[in-house]
Chains A and B, each alone.
Chain A
Amino acid sequence: MRTPLDLPLETLLTRRTMLKAAAVGGIALLLDGCASAASSSSSNGAKARRSMTLGTVTDFAPTEILRAGVNTTTLSLIFDTLADVDLTTVQPTPMIATSWVWNSDKTELTVNLRDDVYFHSGRKLGPEDAIYSIKATQSSTAGAQIGGTTDLITAMRVTGPNQFKITVSEPISSFANVLVLTPLIDRKTFSGLASGKQVVGTGPFRFESWVPGSSISLRRNDRYWQHGLPRLDSVKVRVFGSEQSLVAAIRDNEIDLAWNLVPSDAALLKRGGKFASLTTGAAVSEWYVGVNVKSKPFDDVRIRQAIAYALDRERIVKQAFASYGAASCLPWSTSLPGVAAADATHYPYDPDKAKALLREAGASGVTAPILTNSTNTIAEAILNIVQYNLTAAGFKVKASQVQATTFQNQLQAASIDGLWINDVGQTYLSLGTVLLGNAPFKITKNTSNVTDPEYVSLAKRVIYASTAAQEASANRGLSAYVLDQAFHITVGSIPTVSAAATSLSGVQTSGGGAIELTGAKLT
């Protein structure tokens, strides 16, 4: 008897048979009555309006809690700071610290704290914890930018149940940023913080769990000092392996907010009309072309100025920043005291002027090596435009890209040969903090190898300015120097750009650029 095994293959696999099978399969897929992961993910919002999912490509880094600009998705959810900052006036505003007052010669700061703040462990926050948190930033292994400022503290002591005093040897103009940039950590559980096992703060959400590279789960802090807040019961932060998968997730309604998107992706999502585009109030990232002044021929200021004239900043903002942010020649905000608005356009786009400067320096056709971080999409976009601009101005550009760790290693060692493209944070805060804590500007050793005594002197005038008039004058002098010497050639600044579901409202950002969901809600 013939069995199916004995039949020729063509009898079984006719065109008609295969088309029938495909049709049946397709109908089965469409009529799938079982639970669907896709439909359950897109209806998540309808089921639980008090639980929010946030997406990011940057994982939680508990070892870097004290470093600004790192844990921007979780820092302000779990931790509070002593003060926040009003991004319009760039002045600190009360948070856990209700007030702070300098003595007459500005060498002693008295800080008063709220009386109703509790750690997630249940322990009441006291001035000892504030002192502990500030001391932690002084540790050489903390990597905290504010550590450059807190290193100038000579003493700290508790002077009341909710009060402590900080002593410095001389007035420091930007000292209030210590209150803004220091998260309040629990000294009793700090040893468990680095591994992510005990992450205890005073913020609106309690840390529940962290699966490295996957997700962080947070739950509402029912004992938060802002009564009635937060409005959400829980927040889940999902870590995505790539920007593409983050975009796919927000489009698929798997998450309510995609944090810190590449600007072009955010613009694309906004054009679709289904998502609201959110930006942080401050331009948290200042992008620049750095120059190693010890690297020939860039020790010649005319060549550095030629680079500054050659850059089409408006095009960079339009293409690399997708029109988010603004072009500027100055690393910091023109609203800082003493800084002129005209400084932002000190170097207009002028390739002819750039060529003339190169000719004057006898350097037409000089090779300009540029280094960037290969994993940064914005850096790559800026590189393409800068490469084009410099070539048009008469440079012979040699671009190279290295991995993030290698790039960071060379930056830290100030050993990059020629130029590089990178961003720096906190420049929207006062200059003093930046000069003491950020590598491109540090007076001790900076990434451009600037050791000019004039720079050091101007920077110290800014750091130790004790009156508003002195601060304005010092800012004016330093700005003029940085622009003239062109070792840090700013192209523009950009805020953090995110896309949010239209059902989400009340999202804000802290003075340090971290997301704040205290008042956020889902409708």
Chain B
Amino acid sequence: MPYLAKRLLVAIGVLFIASIAIFMLLHLASGNPATVLAGPDASAAQVAAVARQLHLDQPLPLQYWHWLSGLLTGNLGQSYVLKRPIGALIAQRLGSTVQLMIGATVLMCVGGFAFGVVAAETHSRFVRWLVDLISAAALSAPPFVSAVIFIFVFAISWRVLPASGQLNFLNNPWLSLQYLVMPSVAAALPASAVVGRLLATEMRRVRQDEFVRTAIAKGAGRWRVVLRHVLPNALGPALVELGIRIGELFAGAVVVESLFTRSGIGSLLVSAVEDRDYMLADDLLLMSVAFAIMMQLLTEAGMARIDRRLLLESTLT
């Protein structure tokens, strides 16, 4: 069976198991949307009345089946708390998440590759020291720390960038980019440092291979060796890491979204879980898992493209 087809079958299996786990975990947690909707001063009878209204008194397997069958037919359902179609809620938020994902991905790639190549190729102690310092600082700065620092420096003290908010990129690209800079950098920093380190380590290892020495011996220039021989063969671990980090951005940038007041999927998911908005939370969690799996598949496809030996191995097994 073709390499990617096998991976796809496994992915479907993982999604099915994940759907059961997601459904059970949320429903087993204490509280339900009726608790939230009825309010803190409601009596048990009032909470039960709301629960009946939302069909939460049905057996769990039946609720699971209704949810899953709706998903399979493209019906994401309606939010219990917001009383709006979930598809519309996601569509409203998707733009912001996509903007942040693209911005952070670009920075992760540019920053990660720049760190990695410079760290692997420099002979200057000063440059190596500088790269190590920047990389260590980036790695040890979680988004909630770097975000606060950026806001204080660039928004409150220097006033060159806005502290929070977002704009539709299509309405005003330049202003939209300004709203995007700080959140993207905060989300990308730790990941770009990891990508850079992985790339640098692998590049140093590949440099010792015989085919690289052969290329040098044949008179190839330094950068030609790096870009045409070393880098393509050193990309593997860095690509895998990139795929994981991009997959996390779909619903995992919630801290960045919260601090920069971006209405993305992450913050929608967190509020859905807090409010026990089962339908919305279940849909978003499953979408996050699906997106992460898709990124892994794309990463593996990319690696198979770069390293044909992977494809060959899979056809031989």
Give the B-binding residues of A (Cβ under 8 A): 2-10, 13, 15, 18, 29, 32, 34-42, 59, 62-64, 67, 70, 140-141, 143, 145, 194-196, 211-214, 238-242, 244-245, 248-249, 251-252, 254, 375, 403-406, 408-413, 437-439, 442, 444-445
- B219-263 at interface with A (beta carbon < 8 Å): 221-224, 227, 257-261, 263
* B35 in the interface (beta carbon within 8 A): yes
> Closest CB of chain A to B191's CB: distance in Å?
21
Set B53, B163, B274: member contacting A248, Cβ < 8 A:
B163
> Closest CB of chain A to B57's CB: distance in Å?
14
Q: Which 5 A-B pairs have the closest CB atoms?
A: A241-B258, A143-B39, A5-B223, A405-B31, A6-B221
**Taking CB as reference atom, which chain B residue is nearest A13?**
B127
> Closest CB of chain A to B46's CB: distance in Å?
5
**B257–A252 contact, CB under 8 A?**
no
**A412–B42 contact, CB under 8 A?**
yes
**What A residues does B271 contact at CB under 8 A?**
59, 213
**A37–B123 contact, CB under 8 A?**
no
**What B residues does A244 contact at CB under 8 A?**
148, 259
* B179 in the interface (beta carbon within 8 A): yes
Q: Determine, out of B98-106, B152-160, B201-209, B301-309, the stretch whose residues face the partner at the interface.
A: B152-160
**What B residues does A211 contact at CB under 8 A?**
92, 263
**What A residues does B275 contact at CB under 8 A?**
405
**Taking CB as reference atom, which chain A residue is nearest B53?**
A141
**What A residues does B31 contact at CB under 8 A?**
403, 405-406, 408-409
> Closest CB of chain A to B275's CB: distance in Å?
7
**A412–B47 contact, CB under 8 A?**
yes
A-B contact pairs, 6 of them (CB 8 A): A10-B123, A37-B162, A211-B92, A214-B263, A251-B163, A412-B42
* B2 in the interface (beta carbon within 8 A): no
**A405–B38 contact, CB under 8 A?**
no
**B127–A10 contact, CB under 8 A?**
yes
> Closest CB of chain B to A25's CB: distance in Å?
12
- Docked Cα-Cα span, A213 to B284, in Å, equals 16
- B151-205 at interface with A (beta carbon < 8 Å): 151, 154-156, 159-165, 167, 174-175, 178-179
**Taking CB as reference atom, which chain A residue is nearest B176?**
A37
- Docked Cα-Cα span, A38 to B38, in Å, equals 41
**A252–B261 contact, CB under 8 A?**
no
- The answer to whether A245 and B160 touch (CB under 8 A), given A8-B123, A213-B271, A412-B40, is no
* B121 in the interface (beta carbon within 8 A): yes
- Docked Cα-Cα span, A408 to B174, in Å, equals 45
**What B residues does A238 contact at CB under 8 A?**
165, 261
- The answer to whether A249 and B164 touch (CB under 8 A), given A8-B222, A9-B124, A405-B276, is yes
**What A residues does B39 contact at CB under 8 A?**
64, 67, 70, 143
Kindly count the residue-residue contacts between A and B in the assembled complex, taking CB atoms under 8 Å apart.
193
**B221–A212 contact, CB under 8 A?**
no
Give the A-binding residues of B (Cβ under 8 A): 29-32, 35-47, 49-50, 53, 81-84, 89, 92-93, 118, 121-124, 126-127, 130, 148, 151, 154-156, 159-165, 167, 174-175, 178-179, 221-224, 227, 257-261, 263, 267-268, 271, 274-276
**A38–B178 contact, CB under 8 A?**
yes
**What B residues does A212 contact at CB under 8 A?**
82, 84, 89, 92, 263, 268
- The answer to whether A42 and B159 touch (CB under 8 A), given A10-B124, A37-B179, A140-B49, is yes
- Docked Cα-Cα span, A40 to B164, in Å, equals 13
- Docked Cα-Cα span, A5 to B261, in Å, equals 43
- Docked Cα-Cα span, A10 to B84, in Å, equals 59
- Docked Cα-Cα span, A486 to B167, in Å, equals 53
> Closest CB of chain A to B258's CB: distance in Å?
3
**What B residues does A251 contact at CB under 8 A?**
156, 163
Set B38, B44, B148, B259: member contacting A241, Cβ < 8 A:
B259
**A254–B164 contact, CB under 8 A?**
yes
Residue among A36, A70, A406, A408 with the most chain B CB within 10 A? A408
Set B50, B122, B161, B276: member contacting A38, Cβ < 8 A:
B161
Q: Is the interface of B mostly helix, strand, loop or mixed?
A: helix
**Taking CB as reference atom, which chain A residue is nearest B228?**
A5
**B163–A245 contact, CB under 8 A?**
yes
**B42–A143 contact, CB under 8 A?**
yes
**What B residues does A409 contact at CB under 8 A?**
30-32, 35
- Docked Cα-Cα span, A410 to B30, in Å, equals 9
- Docked Cα-Cα span, A238 to B165, in Å, equals 9
**What A residues does B163 contact at CB under 8 A?**
38, 245, 248-249, 251-252, 254
**B49–A141 contact, CB under 8 A?**
yes
**A240–B261 contact, CB under 8 A?**
yes
**B222–A5 contact, CB under 8 A?**
yes
> Closest CB of chain B to A319's CB: distance in Å?
23
- The answer to whether A405 and B259 touch (CB under 8 A), given A6-B221, A38-B159, A212-B92, is no
**Taking CB as reference atom, which chain A residue is nearest B79?**
A212
**What A residues does B46 contact at CB under 8 A?**
140-141, 143
**B221–A245 contact, CB under 8 A?**
no
- Docked Cα-Cα span, A437 to B39, in Å, equals 11
**Taking CB as reference atom, which chain A residue is nearest B165?**
A254
**A445–B259 contact, CB under 8 A?**
no
Set A39, A141, A413: member contacting B159, Cβ < 8 A:
A39
**What B residues does A64 contact at CB under 8 A?**
37, 39
- Docked Cα-Cα span, A4 to B257, in Å, equals 41
> Closest CB of chain B to A55's CB: distance in Å?
9
**B30–A242 contact, CB under 8 A?**
no
Set B36, B178, B223: member contacting A408, Cβ < 8 A:
B36
**What A residues does B122 contact at CB under 8 A?**
9-10, 13
**B118–A13 contact, CB under 8 A?**
yes
Set B32, B154, B167, B261: member contacting A249, Cβ < 8 A:
B261
> Closest CB of chain A to B162's CB: distance in Å?
4
> Closest CB of chain A to B220's CB: distance in Å?
9
**Taking CB as reference atom, which chain A residue is nearest B122?**
A9
**What B residues does A438 contact at CB under 8 A?**
41
**A242–B84 contact, CB under 8 A?**
no
> Closest CB of chain A to B43's CB: distance in Å?
6
**Taking CB as reference atom, which chain A residue is nearest B225?**
A5
**What B residues does A252 contact at CB under 8 A?**
155-156, 159, 162-164
Residue among B29, B123, B261, B276 with the most chain A CB within 10 A? B261
- Docked Cα-Cα span, A505 to B258, in Å, equals 29
**B92–A245 contact, CB under 8 A?**
no
**B165–A41 contact, CB under 8 A?**
yes
**B164–A411 contact, CB under 8 A?**
no
- Docked Cα-Cα span, A406 to B175, in Å, equals 41
**A213–B258 contact, CB under 8 A?**
no
> Closest CB of chain B to A109's CB: distance in Å?
24
**A195–B36 contact, CB under 8 A?**
no
- Docked Cα-Cα span, A36 to B155, in Å, equals 11
**What A residues does B89 contact at CB under 8 A?**
212
**What A residues does B174 contact at CB under 8 A?**
34-35
- Docked Cα-Cα span, A137 to B156, in Å, equals 45
**A405–B30 contact, CB under 8 A?**
yes
**What B residues does A40 contact at CB under 8 A?**
175
**Taking CB as reference atom, which chain B residue is nearest A39?**
B159
**A41–B44 contact, CB under 8 A?**
no
- The answer to whether A245 and B164 touch (CB under 8 A), given A143-B41, A238-B261, is yes
- Docked Cα-Cα span, A413 to B156, in Å, equals 46
Residue among B53, B162, B223, B260 with the most chain A CB within 10 A? B162
> Closest CB of chain B to A203's CB: distance in Å?
21
